[in-house]
Amino acid sequence: MEQEHPGAIIRRQLLDDCDLSQAQLADRLGYGKQAICLLVNGKKSITPRMALALEREFPQLGEAELWLSIQAAYDLQEELEKQGRDKA
């Protein structure tokens, strides 16, 4: 099963569904616009600091542990693919 990058979830649930801009999201989370752009385009990982900011600003989307778990699952899938293995 293909694991979705957490940035894609954030893009869909916050930028699209809640009609936030990347700049607005960056301000609310305390990050620069570049970091948010990289995140929502799957080029940057969720960090513990970012997971806590998401939990604080958007508690309806889940706790920090959830975001870190999604990131870890994505990272594991990426590594398995690099090694030519599929997660069973």
CA–CA dist 14, 40 (Å, integer): 10
Predicted structure pTM score: 0.88
Tokens matching residue 3: 């694991």
Q: What DSSP assignment string belongs to the chain?
A: -PPPPHHHHHIIIIIISS---HHHHHHHHT--HHHHHHHHTTSSPPPHHHHHHHHHH-GGG--HHHHHHHHHHHHHHHHHHHTT----
pLDDT tens-digit map of 44-62: 999 999 999 999 999 999 9
Domains and CATH numbers, the chain: 6-82 (1.10.260.40)
What pLDDT does 86 receive? 64
CA–CA dist 38, 41 (Å, integer): 5
